[in-house]
Structure 1
Amino acid sequence: MALTDTQVRNATAEDKDKWLSDANGLRLLVKRNGSKYWRLKYRFLGKQKTLAIGVYPEISLKEARQLTAQARNQIESGIDPSEHRKSEKISARENAGNLFSQITKDWWNHQKGTWKPDHANRVLLRLEQNAFPLIGNKPITEIRPQEIIKIARLTEDRGAPDVAQRVLQDIRRVFRYAVQHGLLETNPASELQGILKGRKTEHRASLPREELPLFLKALSEYQTKGRKLTQFAIELLILTFVRPGELRGAMWEEFDLEERVWRIPGERMKMGTDHIVPLSYQALIIIEEIRSISGAYPLLFPSERNRSQPMSDNTMRRAIFKLGYDGNEEGKSKANPHGFRATASSILNETGFNPDAIERQLSHMERNAVRGAYTHHAKYLDERKELMQWWADYLDSLKNPGVVVPIFSQQG
């Protein structure tokens, strides 16, 4: 006779375990301590077996019957429900170690020794921000090309086509690593070249001299439109004309404000050699402003999401576009963070500064000159201090037309 909800609920413990039978082999085990367990008694290939269905009241009588029906269907199909459950548990344990996020970190640890630290951090952060939210917690064996395409297109659609291309490349490399280590048979990202919109290769846009005053004025008002730290980042980028990645990775320990220099270690530089950036008085003022915001962190420009990581490589670019410098607004050119290097170089060369000093301040160096890097940059350091202060004063004169900047005359 089948059990009722009332019988199950009111079943009490005795001096020894007891069994209450339902239909189709389902039974309720009532332990001496009052605990109640569902068990299914069945035969498979001539052997008597028992399957644990669950614990009452977490599993109700109705749910226990449904699970019993599922198990009976498996038996009729030639599947032993006990062995099936064991295989599922094994798969779950294996999948826990094969999540995309875990394989990505294994790949990243394998590769990072071949990269500069700043680049390595960028690669991992790019995947954490763009891929992990969608597939980070999925077993790598269950990820399909359509999911990878979705990641790339979502990244592209938010206005970051370059990042979308890099993310797609990074995902492809993670899957290649999985194939090489026997975790996958095929790479689901291997045939996805060309799924993103094509982009023409173009030179990094730089502002012409005549547009700098309007841009600097717009930038000074950016704090009303966006994050103050982003404004300071762009201002310091223009004053120092370092590469954007070198600025984003700037750490407080690299700055000697008494000596008025910023020493960027070689591992963060494109050419792999240390670089000295003389700091103008205007740069010192901005750095003190930045300290009031991020002085408690190692980085000057930490990410809002993770203070141990630098701000995104798109943060400054998006801010510049917000100011109207995306090439679509009449009367305004297209601009991007890297382009200020060209703008500074052009103006400083036109002004008459030593071209070698300018090139060294831009950290342009012939590869065969790397061994003599220290002697090379020390030779021009005094000239570079002068040109960096002149550049800052010149920018002030553009923002404030009444400011008079000393005219630099090349010494013959």
Structure 2
Amino acid sequence: MPLTDTTIRNAKPTEKPVRIFDGGGLYAEISPAGGKLWRLKYRIDGKEKLLALGMYPDVGLKDARERRDEARKLLANGVDPGAHRKAQKAAKAERSANSFEVICREWLEQRKDTVEPSQHVKTLARMENDVFPWLGAKAIAEITSPDVLGVLRRIDERGARYTAHRVRSEISRAFRYAIATGRADRDPCPDLKGAIPAPKAEHFAAITTPTEVAELLRAIDGFRGTFVVKSALLLAPLLFVRPGELRSAEWSGFDLDKAEWRYLVTKTKSEHLVPLASQAVAILRELHELTGNRRYVFPGRDPHKAMSEAAINAALRRMGYDTKTEITGHGFRAMARTILHEELHIKPEVIEHQLAHQVPDALGTAYNRTKFLKERQTMMQQWADYLGKLKVGAEVIPLNGQAA
């Protein structure tokens, strides 16, 4: 007789497993411990086999019958339902192993040692917040351009257009990694060129007029924060390197006797040399008394780590500056580029080399850290002297904009 739900529910365990049959090979097996497992007995190629269909009551009588009927349809077509299930599980496991999230995390981990720690953290956060919830579980080879576009539009619609473009680039790089490792055939991201409008150009806030620079320098002199942060503030306009390169500077790169700082530019992976003006050397020698026995010139709260990337901007805000509209740690570069050219009439190519920008010459040769070295040494000292005069108000700025 076919089973009823009441029969199954009231079935009691005994010392040995008990089977109660429903028909068509389906039965419930009650274990001595009281568990009730649905099983299907079937024959294929002359062999009798069993297929587990789930536990009762998680799988009710109706669901168990439906699973039995699905299995019998496979048998009618010559397919072993047990082997079919194993193939499905294997395919699911393969899809999971080749999911976008698994491969993207693998790519991020693989490049971790070649990017700034903060960049790794930010990229991972963007993926976890904006990409993985929608694409993470999908097999990377099955992701289409519309799938990616849906992710980008969600980001763009919340007003983060720049982030949307950045995420498209990062998704594309994850796909290229998948292609290189044999787990995808193509990158769908190039198909989306123009699908999200280009973001408006954003420039780092910077102070570029001599009178305002003078006020800023005096404000830095009056800063009442820690000695390490104040030293970084004093050096930022003198050196005008990228904020991340300044805060993560290591003493091993400095030769104060030669008045030089050498380091690897993270953006271009090229060696860079910064000639140090006498004013910068004096600040560094004083700071060396405090942090010279450590790795980092500007250690953070944890002495084994560099100063926080937010420290300079936080200090500028404490001094009353708006880091969105007036000046940021990165803005010292624009300050130097503008005034060196417009007020001190330094050749643009010399300035660009000191900014560690890739500047091909007439022969197409890329950036060389020693090129214009004598000119740059002179420029850096001239720049430091100029800032010193601005700070004390001794530099006269005529109406025609020429420094006297």
Please say if residues 36 and 56 of structure 2, whose CA atoms lie closer than 8 Å, have aligned partners that are also in contact. Answer: no
- Comparing 157-166 with 214-223, which one deviates more in the overlay? 214-223
User: In the aligned structure 2, how far is the partner of 1:290 from the partner of 1:159?
Assistant: 36
Q: Which residue of 1 aligns with 2:301?
A: 293
Q: Which residue of 2 aligns with 1:92?
A: 92
Q: Is the aligned partner of 1:274 residue 2:269?
A: no
When residues 294 and 349 of structure 1 are mapped into structure 2, their CA distance, relative to the original with a 3 A threshold, is: farther
User: In the aligned structure 1, how far is the partner of 2:231 from the partner of 2:207?
Assistant: 19
When residues 217 and 168 of structure 1 are mapped into structure 2, their CA distance, relative to the original with a 3 A threshold, is: farther
Post-superposition CA distance 1:382-404 (Å, at most 9, x none): 64663464366467x2xxxxx45
Q: Which residue of 2 aligns with 1:410?
A: none
Post-superposition CA distance 1:263-301 (Å, at most 9, x none): 34345364823322533555766996942435322x444
Q: Which residue of 2 aligns with 1:241?
A: 240
Please say if residues 281 and 389 of structure 1, whose CA atoms lie closer than 8 Å, have aligned partners that are also in contact. Answer: no
Q: How well do the aligned residues superpose, as a CA RMSD in angstroms?
A: 5.2
User: In the aligned structure 1, how far is the partner of 2:269 from the partner of 2:35?
Assistant: 70
Q: Which residue of 2 aligns with 1:362?
A: 355
Q: Which residue of 2 aligns with 1:74?
A: 70
When residues 339 and 235 of structure 1 are mapped into structure 2, their CA distance, relative to the original with a 3 A threshold, is: same
What is the TM-score normalised by the length of structure 1?
A: 0.63
Percentage of matched positions with identical amino acids: 21
2:90 aligned counterpart, secondary structure = helix
User: In the aligned structure 2, how far is the partner of 1:254 from the partner of 1:52?
Assistant: 66
Give the C-alpha shift of residue 213 in structure 1.
Answer: 5.8
Q: Which AA in structure 2 matches 1:195?
A: A
User: In the aligned structure 2, how far is the partner of 1:71 from the partner of 1:303?
Assistant: 59
Please say if residues 39 and 53 of structure 1, whose CA atoms lie closer than 8 Å, have aligned partners that are also in contact. Answer: yes
When residues 65 and 189 of structure 1 are mapped into structure 2, their CA distance, relative to the original with a 3 A threshold, is: farther
1:263 aligned counterpart, secondary structure = strand
Q: Which AA in structure 1 matches 2:9?
A: D
Q: What is the aligned counterpart of 2:336 among 339, 344, 363?
A: 344
Gaps of 5+ in 1: 305-310, 398-402, 408-412
Q: Is the aligned partner of 1:20 residue 2:23?
A: no
User: In the aligned structure 1, how far is the partner of 2:180 from the partner of 2:269?
Assistant: 32
When residues 384 and 290 of structure 1 are mapped into structure 2, their CA distance, relative to the original with a 3 A threshold, is: same
Give the C-alpha shift of residue 98 in structure 1.
Answer: 0.5
What is the TM-score normalised by the length of structure 2?
A: 0.64
Q: Which residue of 1 aligns with 2:53?
A: 53
Give the C-alpha shift of residue 50 in structure 1.
Answer: 1.2
When residues 270 and 172 of structure 1 are mapped into structure 2, their CA distance, relative to the original with a 3 A threshold, is: closer
1:131 aligned counterpart, secondary structure = helix
Q: Which residue of 1 aligns with 2:399?
A: none
When residues 109 and 358 of structure 1 are mapped into structure 2, their CA distance, relative to the original with a 3 A threshold, is: same
Q: Which residue of 1 aligns with 2:59?
A: 63
Q: Which AA in structure 2 matches 1:40?
A: R
When residues 405 and 29 of structure 1 are mapped into structure 2, their CA distance, relative to the original with a 3 A threshold, is: farther
Q: Which AA in structure 2 matches 1:5?
A: R
Structural mapping, 1:105-144, within 5 Å: 117-118=114-115, 125=121, 127-133=123-129, 134-135=131-132, 137-138=136-137, 139-141=139-141, 143-144=143-144
User: In the aligned structure 2, how far is the partner of 1:223 from the partner of 1:60?
Assistant: 71
Gaps of 5+ in 2: 292-296, 397-404
Q: Which AA in structure 2 matches 1:53?
A: L
Q: Which AA in structure 1 matches 2:17?
A: K
Q: Which AA in structure 1 matches 2:57?
A: L
Q: Which AA in structure 2 matches 1:344?
A: A
Give the C-alpha shift of residue 40 in structure 1.
Answer: 1.1
When residues 341 and 179 of structure 1 are mapped into structure 2, their CA distance, relative to the original with a 3 A threshold, is: closer
When residues 96 and 253 of structure 1 are mapped into structure 2, their CA distance, relative to the original with a 3 A threshold, is: farther
Structural mapping, 1:180-199, within 5 Å: 183-184=183-184, 187-199=187-199
2:11 aligned counterpart, secondary structure = helix
Q: Which AA in structure 2 matches 1:274?
A: H
- Comparing 360-369 with 72-81, which one deviates more in the overlay? 360-369
When residues 223 and 74 of structure 1 are mapped into structure 2, their CA distance, relative to the original with a 3 A threshold, is: farther
User: In the aligned structure 1, how far is the partner of 2:235 from the partner of 2:195?
Assistant: 37
Q: Is the aligned partner of 1:390 residue 2:382?
A: no
Please say if residues 204 and 336 of structure 1, whose CA atoms lie closer than 8 Å, have aligned partners that are also in contact. Answer: yes
Please say if residues 41 and 48 of structure 1, whose CA atoms lie closer than 8 Å, have aligned partners that are also in contact. Answer: no
Give the C-alpha shift of residue 85 in structure 1.
Answer: 2.2
Give the C-alpha shift of residue 325 in structure 1.
Answer: 6.3
When residues 7 and 108 of structure 1 are mapped into structure 2, their CA distance, relative to the original with a 3 A threshold, is: closer
Structural mapping, 1:280-319, within 5 Å: 281=282, 290-297=298-305, 299-301=306-308
1:63 aligned counterpart, secondary structure = coil
Post-superposition CA distance 1:23-52 (Å, at most 9, x none): 342221526xx4846141233668643112
When residues 163 and 18 of structure 1 are mapped into structure 2, their CA distance, relative to the original with a 3 A threshold, is: closer
User: In the aligned structure 2, how far is the partner of 1:394 from the partner of 1:158?
Assistant: 47
